[in-house]
Amino acid sequence: MKFITEFLEYFVIITTGVLIICAINISLSETHGESLEVGVTLWEIVGAGAATAFVTALVYRRECNTKKKFIAMVIIHYILICAIMIFMGVSFGWMDLNIGGIIMMTVSVALVYLFTYVISYISAKHQADEFNKALKEKYKDK
């Protein structure tokens, strides 16, 4: 059950991030998305969000007891996400399989990664603050 909850949380955050980055990329492109089919593209974004959220939930299930292992896990995760998004980007026609397309996708993945980190941090901090507040209230007389 925990995996499903984590998957859904990552799915919502990542899909939102992918949507924002796609909107920015389309706005900055020379064609401004003139050849995109909106209905298809939206489902592709949902699919990309689901695929990357699944991998994220799998990777971050492991607890890392050292900083070195955590950094290695983040790097491996980033590489996996980039590979998935490059494959999907080429399959969906979001990018060309050339150095420019790969750079664009790795930067886009980095921006979604940053977005996901910030939103997850804010959410976790809020939950921790609420938990600590409840504990203080419960044990204030002890």
* Helix axis angle, 2-28 to 38-59, nearest 10°: 140
Query: Does the structure show a pLDDT above 80 at 134?
Result: no
**CA 43 to CA 134: how far, in whole Å?**
41
Number of neighbours of residue 9 by Cβ within 10 angstroms: 17
For the entire predicted model, the pTM comes to 0.80
Q: Where are the domains of the chain?
A: 2-138
* pLDDT tens digits for range 13-52: 999 999 998 888 888 877 665 656 666 788 899 999 999 9
Dihedral of the alpha carbons of 59, 60, 65, 67, in degrees to the nearest 10: 90
Would you give the end-to-end CA distance of the chain in angstroms?
Answer: 35
- In tens, the pLDDT along 72-94 reads 999 999 999 999 999 999 998 88
Report the alpha-carbon angle 98-93-102, nearest 5: 30
